[in-house]
Amino acid sequence: MADGSEAGYVAYVSGRIPALRRLAYLLCGNDHQADDLVQETITKIFVRWSQVRKAENIDNYVHTILVRTFLDDRRRGWWKVLLGTSPERAAPAGAAVEDREVLRAALAKVPPRQQAVLVLRFLDDRPVAEVAEIMGCSQGTVKSQTAHGLTALRRILGDQYAGTFTYGEAR
């Protein structure tokens, strides 16, 4: 970066690593893979920093890169190497350890785009419009992927968690 923008990159990334790591963990459910996703994302950001820093919403731009990197990795199939333990810092508030493990296992069985939408909507608490922007699709697609993903979760989890996953009004 000959234009001296490296300091801006370092400042941005330094302040965002914990949030990126949390989102990466929520997507993949594995400490090591989350670290790999964050590393790959911040490498891509570095290479494109002159473009990234001009974005209207840098955080959404970076989250888009992270989610797409996750989806690309899922397509490649490397995600099947699941080692993981769940870090407490990435746990949904109030969830018991066994519930987190059950949810993580169920999410791993949902198709990648539906999984990404469910994580962004419910675990990262993002509105439909923001998820659509990050995923590069329409709000209607986010809503249908959410509905299909929740249906899949209900089918996977069965009666034990029947009332747990509902889809109310879109924000």
* Structural domains of the chain, ranges and CATH numbers in brackets: 1-89 (1.10.1740.10), 91-166 (1.10.10.10)
The token pair that represents 139 in the structure block:
């709000």
Do 118 and 146 touch, CB atoms closer than 8 A? yes
Average pLDDT over residues 120-149: 91
The count of other CB atoms within 10 Å of the CB of residue 95 is 14
pLDDT digits 0-9 by tens, 77-132: 543 443 343 334 444 455 566 777 888 888 889 999 999 999 999 888 889 999 99
Q: State residue 21's pLDDT score.
A: 95
Q: State residue 159's pLDDT score.
A: 64
Q: State residue 4's pLDDT score.
A: 53
153 pLDDT higher than 60: yes
Query: Rounded to whole angstroms, how far apart are CA atoms 64 and 19?
Result: 14
Q: State residue 73's pLDDT score.
A: 79
Average pLDDT over residues 68-76: 81
pLDDT digits 0-9 by tens, 20-71: 999 999 998 889 989 999 999 999 999 999 889 999 999 999 999 999 999 8
Q: State residue 78's pLDDT score.
A: 43
Least confident interval from 6-20, 74-88, 126-140, 151-165: 74-88
Q: For all residues of the chain together, what is the average pLDDT?
A: 81
Query: Rounded to whole angstroms, how far apart are CA atoms 135 and 112?
Result: 12
Do 26 and 123 touch, CB atoms closer than 8 A? yes
Q: What is the CA radius of gyration of the chain?
A: 17
Percent of the chain with pLDDT over 70: 77
Average pLDDT over residues 155-165: 68
Q: State residue 102's pLDDT score.
A: 81
